[in-house]
Amino acid sequence: MDATAIILAAGEGTRMKSNHAKVSHKILGKPMINWIVDATIAAGCSRVIVVVGSHADEVRALLQDAYVNSPITVETVEQVERLGTGHAVKVAIEACGIDAGPVVVLNGDLPLIQADTVAKFAQTVDGGTYAAAALTFTPPEPFGYGRIELDEDGSIARIIEQKDCTPEQSETLLECNAGCYAFDGAQLKQHIGEITNDNAQSEYYLPDMLEILKGAGQSVTIFHCDDYRDGLGVNSRAQLAELTAIARDRINAHWMAEGVTFLDPTQAWVGPDATIGRDTIVWPQTHLIGNTHVGENCQLGPNSRLIDTQVGNGCVVDETVSIEAVLENNVNCGPRAYLRPGTHMLDGSKAGTHVEIKKSTIGRGSKVPHLSYIGDTTMGEGVNVGAGSITCNYDGKHKNPTTIGDRTFIGSDTMMVAPVNIGSDAVTGAGGTITKDVPDGALALERTKQCIIEGWGTRHNAGN
């Protein structure tokens, strides 16, 4: 679809009471601005232009990081003087040379709008019948929204703001304005300069374009959202929480329809970019955020948080925090495991209770059952790490590697002082500090002689 999306993201968002841009606030781990940009790209828009203003650098950084590899370049234009929505669109038109095709103007705080809605909205003005269309919806509670009054032919007669509605209009006019507009690009460019700031705020308001186009003999209409949730915006922390709950319910309903079990779908938070395989069970207080992908027949949670993590089939992830990790098939984690970036757990491996792993490969069938830290380590298959064992990988300046060969047994409370290599089929005795390489098949012991002083405890206690 050869349509242009202009996303208005320059506002201050004062009601959020934040030191950050309103559109940077996250829903299910993803900034609001990225939700709506993704919708426009998925809708097939050939150009996506974001008008930034307040906290412009912060918003630009969010877009640059997220869309560096996108097939569609996400352009940004700064509205240095924030003189209203009409002025913002004029800035975008002049900076980006927009003069033809459908132009969809969307608010950056409208995160739940779906790609199909954007595509159909743009098609409303693609054909020459209408020069403009307003996006409308019918929320359960219409108070606060501008109301749409229609002519007999279905075109827009006028938009009445809530403060100007009579009691009768508040009760009978239920079609609400979502604050988004689609325009024929040529008509928009021709008439955008006719918007005036003759109002109490001395701002240029984009809705005035509807009256201007009608005055020029053009037809304007509405596009009604079948799902009212597409039209809901965020102006406060309370609304942010409300839309987060709606997004959660919408996403979880989708995955349940795909064969995923949620023991309590109101207590599981799955981001829009995460995926879950069928017959996986999601326990309460589970978070799947960012680029997280889970296979089939897994058990997730309770109390697990996975961020940008890849999980294979048949895994159990119980009370685990995992960030940028890879779990292959039949991996068992937790309870209370912490997998830090760079962790790669191969088929059938285990990270048990109170285990932390960072930038390490845990081999096939290898186990780190409890109370251990493994960092900067390459571990072979069939290894067993005893409780309380630590790879001492940091010397105060550098991180150093540890390697552990296949089928090796690490005794409890072993300190492996990196850099160090422990061979295959080796054993380290409990309580040892391993500072030298251990050959294949060897036993490594490092202990001082146990000293017994008879009667010391009796005499010591008697002295108290």
Run means of pLDDT, 10 residues per run, the chain, 464 residues? 92 91 96 97 96 96 92 94 94 94 96 96 93 93 83 79 82 87 96 91 90 93 93 94 97 98 98 98 98 98 98 98 98 97 98 98 97 98 98 93 98 97 97 96 90 90 77
Nearest to 48 by CA among 66, 25, 22: 66
Q: Domain boundaries in the chain?
A: 3-231, 237-444
Same fold, 3-231 and 237-444: no
353 phi, psi to nearest 5 deg: -70, 130
Q: What is the pLDDT of residue 464?
A: 62
Q: Would you identify the CATH topology of the domain 237-444?
A: UDP N-Acetylglucosamine Acyltransferase; domain 1 (2.160.10)
Q: What is the pLDDT of residue 393?
A: 94
Nearest to 33 by CA among 53, 50, 19, 20: 50
Contacts of 455 (CB under 8 A, 6+ apart): none
Q: For 448, which DSSP code?
A: P
Where is the binding site for UDP-N-acetyl-alpha-D-glucosamine, in residues? 8-11, 22, 79, 84-85, 146, 161, 177, 235, 340, 358, 373, 384
Contacts of 65 (CB under 8 A, 6+ apart): none
Q: What is the pLDDT of residue 261?
A: 98
Cα–Cα distance list, 207 to 92, 151, 176, 255 (Å): 16, 17, 13, 38
Q: Does domain 3-231 have CATH number 3.20.20.70?
A: no
Q: Is residue 108 within 8 Å of residue 9, measured between CB atoms?
A: yes
Q: What is the pLDDT of residue 165?
A: 83
Q: What is the pLDDT of residue 377?
A: 98
Q: What is the pLDDT of residue 161?
A: 80
Torsion of CA 84, 90, 92, 97, to 10 degrees: 180
Q: What is the pLDDT of residue 332?
A: 98
Where is the binding site, in residues? 8-11, 22, 79, 84-85, 109, 146, 161, 177, 235, 340, 358, 373, 384, 387, 393-394, 412, 430, 447
Where is the binding site for acetyl-CoA, in residues? 387, 393-394, 412, 430, 447
Specify whether 224 is catalytic: no
User: One of 87, 191, 344, 370 is an active-site residue; which one?
Assistant: 370
Cα–Cα distance list, 196 to 201, 203, 289, 459 (Å): 11, 8, 45, 96
Q: What is the pLDDT of residue 459?
A: 87
